[in-house]
């Protein structure tokens, strides 16, 4: 291990307020009077509930909710594969009907003011493929809503691909993905390794489908005639121009038309093209995960199966068989009654490390030591010891990260790795864990994180310096985000891990990360949330990280962040921020209060520990105490997780651009975004916040 990243044992403390340091003058005792007993009971019952959710092998996993496109696309994929009688298809149809909004649309997140044109069109198509009639009340409402939003003109690229796959859209009017890109050198801007992990793993199978112009049309009686009221021959299939489209974007659209002409005239069965497709097929097969999926997410899994099927891979082929069998895996699928949902991803590693952090904050080792040890062992075994796609750019860096899902060795991420290190730090001094190699695992993880730091000082999720903005201008990338640049929240978690592990404050990687975070602060105080909603998430991640690395928490820039948090506390004592905050300035820091977002704000204020914030902290704690259910859990329907905000560039942008909605082709409904609800966030973060508050109160009385 290099000297820069050698983990040192911290003398005292965790990611929250120090457990052993006493600050009797840090707050007036009166501010906390009368809450201690309630806190103790709330934390205890919350931990008991959480322990009841633990799996027999030691891990935790909650469901991951997203939007109806997941079920719709699987329904259409099974049709495309010739598996129209697959028993999952009608169950997916029932799920779609359950998710439909009263106005006939389907939305991107719970509580969205408007439905989403893409999810609605895909859901409509899926239900038609199942034989639901066009005049069925649910479909009639959907088609009416689609027409009211201008019809199919503004659907995203992915929706156009799906319509082409079922014979409802000409392939010549979809963005071209030439398979020959597989041969582009790594330093070339259009190398697949310059795309974000999720985009890279998706575009490879899509390039095969696009090159073959694969299609299995719907039955004549099930076609989508209602969505072409003036007839298909009168419909304009071109991608609509965007406001503010620059010369590069215009150039790429013209290039796209030229590529389609070449494909039609020369490249359909060209020798070079066939070789490129074979190379891509090999890439897909090499990248299949142990559980049968690809990349730990839905798009490469569903497109991968279709691409292989189109190249005559039979259902009994091991790759195909494993991929289809994963649809019955409870790690991916959720059944309720006669309906089924297939998740966009699964989060067992992430959930397990957050559970361990929460239980450690609550000093639950006393009551649940065997169960926590089992979880630590499960987590330790999940360290990825093989090289993945990240190593294409960093061939000399040794692996040592953790992935998010059950099986995703190709794509460990820096966020999971940082939080895994925080969770493992709690046991590193115990002899039994030393003998199991926990210190070596921590060393590998730290070294890998240091090697993955981007040039600007921050950390992206899956790759280093994945920020080629030119890629976002190609037509394929209109779906949301194709880049994975550094983000404040991930960087904050890395710095928090470094602080918890006791790494020296003058460590260059730490100092560069701190400079990045300071440079990214918004003028009014908060930090943007890339992977959680939104400024509450970013700010709630940064402040504990600053405390963990020993930053002077009395500095004005930290006070400004705390002032912002206090200013956005709501009358009931909680905090909430809508997903709409990614597009609407008025929604920043505002929305229905939630347990998870209240906890993030509390953890930020507790980390700073300003006297003037103690009343706000007490009010936030009382909100959580009062909201807890009798059995110890909290309810939360709102989406507080972020897949991507739909900006195209993968990072924060200015929301005061009057042409922003037309330029991005989305409003507060987030048509180009992907939002998530991690079911157990409602439990992990309140336990952390209340436990840290309890220590703060104890040290102040």
Annotated catalytic residues are 415
| Rounded CA separation 496/452 (Å) | 16
Distance of CA 31 to CAs 35, 141, 458, 622, Å?
Answer: 9, 54, 38, 12
Q: Are strands 641-644 and 674-678 parallel, antiparallel or unpaired?
A: antiparallel
- Three-state SS letters, 54-113: CCCCCCCCCCEECCCHHHHHHHHHHHHCCCCCCCHHHHHHHHHHHHCCCCCCECCCCCCC
- Residues with Cβ < 8 Å from 364, sequence gap 6 or more? 47, 372
Q: Supply φ then ψ for residue 19, to 5 degrees.
A: -75, -25
Cβ–Cβ < 8 Å for 120, 146: yes
Sheet holding 641-644, edge to edge: 64-65, 674-678, 641-644
**What's the token pair of residue 478?**
């209109």
| Rounded CA separation 104/230 (Å) | 21
Element (DSSP H or E) covering residue 509:
helix 508-519
Distance of CA 215 to CAs 263, 307, 309, 452, 515, Å?
Answer: 16, 11, 12, 41, 51
What is the number of other CB atoms lying within 10 angstroms of the CB of residue 271? 7
| Rounded CA separation 142/139 (Å) | 5
**What's the token pair of residue 690?**
């209340």
Cβ–Cβ < 8 Å for 150, 201: no
**What's the token pair of residue 218?**
């719907």
- Residues with Cβ < 8 Å from 445, sequence gap 6 or more? 383, 400, 401, 402, 417, 420, 421
Locus of tokens 């034989």: 131
For every residue of 463-496, DSSP letters joined together read SSSB--GGGGGSGGGGGSB--B--BHHHHHHHHH
| Rounded CA separation 431/408 (Å) | 31
Cβ–Cβ < 8 Å for 218, 162: no
Distance of CA 595 to CAs 350, 601, 676, Å?
Answer: 18, 10, 16
């Amino acid at each position: 291990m290099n000297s820069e990243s050698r983990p040192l044992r911290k003398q005292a403390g965790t990611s929250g307020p120090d457990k052993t340091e006493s600050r009797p003058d840090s707050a007036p005792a009166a501010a906390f009077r009368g809450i201690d007993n309630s806190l103790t009971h709330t934390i205890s019952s919350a931990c008991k509930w959480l322990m009841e959710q633990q799996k027999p092998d030691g891990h935790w996993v909650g469901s991951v909710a997203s939007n109806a496109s997941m079920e719709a696309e699987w329904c259409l994929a099974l049709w495309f594969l010739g598996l129209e009688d697959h028993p999952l298809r009608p169950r997916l149809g029932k799920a779609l009907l359950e998710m439909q909004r009263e106005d006939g649309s389907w939305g991107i997140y719970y509580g969205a003011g408007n439905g989403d044109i893409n999810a609605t069109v895909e859901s409509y198509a899926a239900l038609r493929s199942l034989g639901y009639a066009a005049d069925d009340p649910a479909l009639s409402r959907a088609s009416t809503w689609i027409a009211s939003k201008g019809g199919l003109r503004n659907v995203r690229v992915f929706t156009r691909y799906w319509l082409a796959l079922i014979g409802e859209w000409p392939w010549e009017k979809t963005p071209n993905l030439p398979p020959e890109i597989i041969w582009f050198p790594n330093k070339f801007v259009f190398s697949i390794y310059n795309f974000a992990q999720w985009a890279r793993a998706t575009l490879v199978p899509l390039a095969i489908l696009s090159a073959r112009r694969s299609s299995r049309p719907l039955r004549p009686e099930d076609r989508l005639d209602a969505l072409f009221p003036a007839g298909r021959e009168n419909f304009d299939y071109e991608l609509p121009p965007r406001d503010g489209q620059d010369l590069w974007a215009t150039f790429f659209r013209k290039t796209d038309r030229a590529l389609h002409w070449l494909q039609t005239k020369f490249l359909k069965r060209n020798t070079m093209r066939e070789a490129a497709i074979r190379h891509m097929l090999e890439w897909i097969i090499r990248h299949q995960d142990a559980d049968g999926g690809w990349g730990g997410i839905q798009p490469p899994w569903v497109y991968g199966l279709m691409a292989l099927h189109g190249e005559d891979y039979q259902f009994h082929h091991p790759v195909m068989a494993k991929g289809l069998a994963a649809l019955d895996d409870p790690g991916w699928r959720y059944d309720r009654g006669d309906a089924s949902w297939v998740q966009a991803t699964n989060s067992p590693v992430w959930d397990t490390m957050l559970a361990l952090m929460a239980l450690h904050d609550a000093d639950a080792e006393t009551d649940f030591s065997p169960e926590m040890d089992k979880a630590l062992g499960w987590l330790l075994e999940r360290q990825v010891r093989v090289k993945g796609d990240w190593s294409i750019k960093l061939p000399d860096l040794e692996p040592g990260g953790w992935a998010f899902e059950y099986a995703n060795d190709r794509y460990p991420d820096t966020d999971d790795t940082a939080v895994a290190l925080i969770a493992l730090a709690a046991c590193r001094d115990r002899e039994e864990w030393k003998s199991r190699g926990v210190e070596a695992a921590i060393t590998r993880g730290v070294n890998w994180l240091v090697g993955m730091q981007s040039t600007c000082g921050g950390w992206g999720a899956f790759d280093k310096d994945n920020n080629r903005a030119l890629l976002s201008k190609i037509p394929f990338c209109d779906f949301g985000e194709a880049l994975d640049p550094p983000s404040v929240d991930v960087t904050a978690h890395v710095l928090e891990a470094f602080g918890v592990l006791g790494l020296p404050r003058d460590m260059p990687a730490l100092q560069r990360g701190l400079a990045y975070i300071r440079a990214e602060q918004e003028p009014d105080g908060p930090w943007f949330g890339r992977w959680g909603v939104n400024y509450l998430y970013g700010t709630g991640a940064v402040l504990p990280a600053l405390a963990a690395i020993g930053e002077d928490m009395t500095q004005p820039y930290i006070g400004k962040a705390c002032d912002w948090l206090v200013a956005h506390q709501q009358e009931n004592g909680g905090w909430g921020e809508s997903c709409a905050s990614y597009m609407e300035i008025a929604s920043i820091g505002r929305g229905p209060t939630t347990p998870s977002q209240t906890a993030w704000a509390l953890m930020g204020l507790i980390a700073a520990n300003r006297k003037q914030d103690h009343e706000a902290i007490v009010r936030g704690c009382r909100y959580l105490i009062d909201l807890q259910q009798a059995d110890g859990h909290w309810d939360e329907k709102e989406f507080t997780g972020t897949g991507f905000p739909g900006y195209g560039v993968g990072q924060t942008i200015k929301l005061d651009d009057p042409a922003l909605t037309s330029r991005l082709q989305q409003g507060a409904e987030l048509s180009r975004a992907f939002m998530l609800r991690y079911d157990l966030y409602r439990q992990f973060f309140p336990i952390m916040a209340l436990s840290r508050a309890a220590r703060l109160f104890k040290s102040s009385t």
